[in-house]
Structure formats: structure tokens, C-alpha cells
């Protein structure tokens, strides 16, 4: 059978009903990290809408790992319990529930975008001290009304605590039924901060050489893999490039080199995005599929399965990415915000026979 957007895809012993993935997108709707009704409706709607993999937003593994005070977390059993009914509903609709395990590092302690996105000082009741590979805070823009929170360089004990936080969060996610664990190492957040020479100015075993800068991510992936069921996959989201061509930075060649090391550590798929390290980044024209070449380069250079993301909106385009073996999964973000039932519409346009929820079959296309 020719591969297409609506052919199943299997990793380990987990079968995804199709190749469409809801890309992780922050909702800024949690209370002290706790999931709310919004998360169940948001994620559940995309599952009922036909997505193959429904991935949570960046879910912090510890309180200081949140991007904003309103971000989702899973650093306690209570946080896991708050997500459990959402996981059950997503699975009941035939989708594969996934969780993105995240730590914002020095990009933590910010206001949500709809409140201006400014950094929150550590002495503000809503703020906290951030941690990173460096003691340099994330740069603020000229329009920022406040200075960033203080940033503390993680020492060896702090690094061990971060790894343990990822492990504990993965174990909680496993116990409430998530089928995919995705380690977030993109967009300038903590694990990306260790990868990139732009943000990693260390001279210990976690800094300097490529091997050292990638060490923490490899250790986190291996540690998560240890507690994740053998039959279920681990994803890793990376920024394939910092989009900083005029300085020593992380680039696509680094990502191609990293991918097999992540596979060796236990990753089953690389979810390929870009940027986020520094506000001076030079983002290319964001046309349809503008980041697909990064995923394709990793897939061709390493033979590791990949998810492609970035400006993918048309069913024929998404289908061609899979059919032409440029990507194994197609991650949609903004388009699934606009059109939560996009997979059902896409299947009709492509002539694929897919199952509709019984409650919606009266609206099924003729």
C-alpha cells in the first residue's frame, strides 16, 4: 500500500490511526499547573476531530519549569490526576494521547502573551528565579516593561534534580495512560539552552564540545526511556536550527548529528521545529512547509522517523509529505486551532475512508 496521510503508523507496539499530530501549543489556562476543563475540551475536540496523535502543550516537570504562571504542569500526583480524564477521553476517540514533558529554563517566569509576555521578576508574587546552562537571563526586548528574573546556572546537583523531575513526570504520565512521551528540547527552553553554544557557556562536562552540550538531553531521554513502557514510543522535539547564521549557534548539521544519538538513547521519533534561542533570530519566510526541509534532512541523514511542522495547512500538501517519504508524521498547530476537525475534512478531500464519531455522522460528507 502506498503510504499516505491516512495510513496507520506503528512505533514499537503503538499504532497511530493516521499521520496527523496535534502540535503542542500552550493554552495558558492552567491553575497552579493544574489542568482545567479547557484542556479536556481543547484536546478532546481534536481527538474527536480525527487527529492520530493528540499532544498536550508543554507540560512542566517542576514549578520553575513553567513558561508562565498559567502553564500546565505534572510535578505531582494531583497534577496527574487532573489530566487523567482528558487522557481517557482522547483515547476513547481513537486518538493516541501524548504528553510533552518540558522545562522552560531561563525562558520561564513570563506573563502569558495575551498579558504582554513580559518577564516576571523573581520578587513578584507571580514570579520565580529561573535556571539554565548559563547565568545570563533571556534577553528582553526594547519594549519590555521590566527586567528579566535572575537566572541561576545549574550545578551538578541541580542537573540531577532536573533529570529526576523528568523521570518522575514521565512515570506519572505513564500511570494515567499517556501513550507517547515527548521530551521538549526545542524553542530555546532548558534542554535547548544546553545544546546551543549561544546559551551554553559552561566549561564542565555539560559544556564546550558537541558531546558535552548534548549530554543532558541524552541523559534525560535515556532516563525517560527507562521508566516508559517498552511498547510505547518516546519522541524528542528539537529546534533544528537557532536561525542565527551570523554567530556560533546550533544548526541543521548539528541536528543531523544529534538524531542517531537520541535514537541510541531511546528516542523513537524526532519532532522537528526551529528557533527560539535568542530574539535576534532570523526566521525565514514562513510559507507553507517552511520547516519541512529540516525534518527531511534529519530523516535522510539518519533514517530516524520524523515529524514535520510549520505552515502546513492543505491536505494535499500534508499527504505528499508522507507519500514522498519526507516525513512520517505531520504536525499541525495553528491550522488545528482554526479547524479542529481538519483531519475529517482532509480525509474526505483525499478520498480516505475514516471513522467519524457516531454523534457527528449526520454531518458526514456524502
Catalytic residue, from 189, 206, 294, 341: name it.
189
Q: Confirm whether 293 is domain-assigned.
A: yes
Whether 187 maps to a domain, the answer reads yes
206 part of a folded domain = yes
d(CA 214, CA 129): 24
Whether pTM > 0.75 for this model: the answer is yes
* C-alpha closest to that of 304 among 343, 336, 261, 338: 261
- 10-51 residue pLDDT tens: 999 999 999 999 999 999 999 999 999 999 999 999 999 999
Helix axes 252-265, 292-302, angle to 10 degrees: 50
In a domain, 4, yes or no: no
Residue 146: per-residue pLDDT: 73
Whichever domain contains 151, its CATH number is 3.20.20.70
**pLDDT (average), residues 303-328:** 96
Name the phi and psi angles at 131, rounded to 5. Answer: -130, 155
Q: Residue 1 above 60 pLDDT?
A: no
The predicted-structure confidence for 44-87, as pLDDT tens digits, reads as follows: 999 999 999 999 999 999 999 999 999 999 999 999 999 999 99
Per-residue pLDDT at 2: 59
Structural domain of residue 199, as residue ranges?
9-363
Residues 239 and 250 sit within 8 Å (Cβ to Cβ): yes
- Look at residue 286 in the predicted model and tell me its pLDDT: 81
Number of domains in the chain: 1
- 219 within a domain of the structure (yes/no): yes
In a domain, 94, yes or no: yes
pLDDT in tens, 230-286: 999 999 999 999 999 999 999 999 999 999 999 999 999 999 999 999 999 999 888
**What is the reported pLDDT for 150?**
84
Instruction: Classify residue 116: in a domain, yes or no.
Output: yes
**How confident is the model at residue 97, as a pLDDT?**
99
Largest CA distance in the chain: 64
- Listed as own residue / partner, the contacts of 93-96 with beta carbons closer than 8 Å and 24 or more positions apart are 93/44, 93/47, 93/48, 93/357, 94/17, 94/47, 94/355, 95/17, 95/46, 95/47, 95/50, 95/51, 95/52, 95/53, 95/54, 96/14, 96/16, 96/17, 96/52, 96/53, 96/54, 96/179, 96/180
- 360 flagged as catalytic: no
- Convert the pLDDT of each residue in 132-186 to its tens digit: 999 999 998 666 667 777 899 999 999 999 999 999 999 999 999 999 999 999 9
**Cα–Cα dist 64/30, whole Å:** 15
Question: Residue 250's pLDDT is what?
Answer: 98
| pLDDT, position 147 | 75
Q: In this predicted structure, what is the pLDDT of residue 103? A: 98
Encode pLDDT of 183-223 as tens digits: 999 999 999 999 999 999 999 999 999 999 999 999 999 99
Contact 163, 135 (CB under 8 A): no
Amino acid at each position: 500500500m502506498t503510504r499516505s496521510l491516512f495510513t496507520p503508523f506503528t512505533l514499537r507496539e503503538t499504532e497511530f490511526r493516521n499521520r496527523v499530530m496535534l502540535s503542542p501549543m500552550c493554552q495558558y489556562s492552567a491553575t497552579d499547573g493544574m489542568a482545567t476543563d479547557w484542556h479536556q475540551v481543547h484536546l478532546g475536540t481534536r481527538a474527536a476531530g480525527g487527529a492520530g496523535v493528540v499532544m498536550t502543550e508543554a507540560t512542566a516537570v517542576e514549578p520553575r519549569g513553567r513558561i508562565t504562571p498559567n502553564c500546565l504542569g505534572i510535578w505531582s500526583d494531583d497534577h496527574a490526576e487532573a489530566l487523567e480524564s482528558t487522557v481517557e477521553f482522547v483515547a476513547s476517540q481513537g486518538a493516541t494521547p501524548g504528553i510533552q514533558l518540558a522545562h522552560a529554563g531561563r525562558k520561564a517566569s513570563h506573563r502569558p502573551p495575551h498579558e504582554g509576555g513580559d518577564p516576571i521578576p523573581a520578587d513578584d508574587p507571580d514570579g520565580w528565579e529561573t535556571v539554565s546552562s548559563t547565568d545570563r537571563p533571556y534577553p528582553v526586548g526594547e519594549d519590555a516593561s521590566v527586567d528579566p528574573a535572575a537566572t541561576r546556572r545549574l550545578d551538578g546537583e541541580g542537573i540531577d534534580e532536573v533529570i529526576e523531575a523528568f523521570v518522575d513526570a514521565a512515570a506519572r504520565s505513564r500511570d494515567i495512560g499517556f501513550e507517547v512521551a515527548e521530551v521538549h528540547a526545542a524553542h530555546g527552553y532548558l534542554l535547548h539552552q544546553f545544546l546551543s553554544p549561544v546559551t551554553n557557556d559552561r566549561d564542565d562536562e555539560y559544556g564546550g564540545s558537541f558531546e558535552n552540550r548534548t549530554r543532558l538531553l541524552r541523559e534525560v531521554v535515556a532516563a525517560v526511556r527507562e521508566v516508559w513502557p517498552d511498547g510505547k514510543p518516546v519522541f524528542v522535539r528539537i529546534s533544528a536550527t537557532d536561525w542565527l547564521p551570523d554567530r556560533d549557534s546550533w544548526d541543521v548539521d548539528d541536528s543531523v548529528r544529534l538524531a542517531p544519538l537520541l535514537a541510541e538513547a531511546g528516542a523513537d521519533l524526532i519532532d522537528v521545529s526551529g528557533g527560539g534561542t535568542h530574539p535576534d533570530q532570523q526566521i525565514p519566510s514562513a510559507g507553507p512547509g517552511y520547516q519541512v526541509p529540516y525534518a527531511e534532512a534529519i530523516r535522510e541523514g539518519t533514517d530516524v522517523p520524523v515529524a514535520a511542522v510549520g505552515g502546513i495547512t492543505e491536505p494535499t500538501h500534508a499527504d505528499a509529505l508522507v507519500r514522498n517519504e519526507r516525513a512520517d508524521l505531520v504536525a499541525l498547530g495553528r491550522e488545528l486551532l482554526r479547524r479542529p476537525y481538519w483531519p475529517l475534512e482532509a480525509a474526505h478531500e483525499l478520498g480516505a475512508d475514516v471513522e467519524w464519531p457516531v454523534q457527528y455522522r449526520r454531518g458526514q460528507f456524502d
